[in-house]
Amino acid sequence: MKKLVVGTLALATLGMMVINGSTAQADTTKVEYSVEGDYTLVIPQTVNLLHDNTTEMSIKTINRNLAPNKEVEITISDGLSADGEIELQRTNSASDVLTSSIKSNNNPVSITNPVIGSFTGYAMAETEVSKVEFGVPQGQQLAGNYSTTLTFAAAYK
């Protein structure tokens, strides 16, 4: 049994010599490793608008790790009216609607420009990437609850 093991070891060594013997000195080996970009967006589930002042909402990231020259752009993909406002519908009444303006980082948000923020780079701590401001609700304010849903999208560019 010992001779068989020694013979196999000698063949393996001989095989390595043949491979090494056929490799030229100028040959190179490229070694690569890849880490996918990753991030977590933190967006509040509910925002209660104030009746006498603007209301701010902060959008943040946590555990952000993007490749150099890459960016994530955040947009509102659904929930804006044609004139760039949000419409809050009264519960149990389809005809009663309040409107509110929406700005991001002091710029109006509209269907034609729904971008509310972007971010790049690396940051493990929770970091604000956009401040969204809702205007005071406008319209006939009848008693009841009013709401709408905004849908946000993030695109890795």
pLDDT per residue as tens digits for the range 99-137: 999 999 899 999 999 999 999 999 999 999 999 999 999
Based on the structure, what is the number of domains in the chain? 1
Read off the pTM.
0.77
C-beta of residue 41 within 8 angstroms of C-beta of residue 58: no
Residue 23 domain flag: no
Tokens at 55, concatenated: 């209301």
Residue 84 domain flag: yes
Q: How does residue 153 score in pLDDT terms, banded at 50, 70 and 90?
A: very high
At 95, the amino acid letter reads S
Residue 44 pLDDT exceeds 80? yes
Look up the domain containing 126 and give its range.
38-156
Residue 134 domain flag: yes
Distance CA 38, CA 123 (A): 11
The number of beta carbons lying within 10 Å of the beta carbon of residue 64 is 22
Kindly tell me the burial class for residue 43, based on how many C-beta atoms sit within 10 Å of its own C-beta (0-12, 13-18, 19 or more): middle
- CATH number for the domain spanning 76: value is 2.60.40.1090
